[in-house]
Amino acid sequence: GAGVSQSPSNKVTEKGKDVELRCDPISGHTALYWYRQSLGQGLEFLIYFQGNSAPDKSGLPSDRFSAERTGGSVSTLTIQRTQQEDSAVYLCASSLTGGWDTQYFGPGTRLTVL
User: Residue 54: what are its φ and ψ, rounded to 5°?
Assistant: -60, 135
Window of 12-20, 21-29, 52-60, 80-88 that interacts with other proteins by CB under 8 A = 52-60
20 binds other proteins per the rule CB under 8 A: no
One of 2, 14, 28, 42 touching other proteins (CB under 8 A): 42
Nearer of residues 25 and 98 to other proteins, judged by Cβ: 98
25 binds other proteins per the rule CB under 8 A: no
Strand blocks (E) in the chain: 5-7, 10-13, 19-24, 31-38, 42-50, 65-69, 75-79, 88-95, 104-105, 109-113
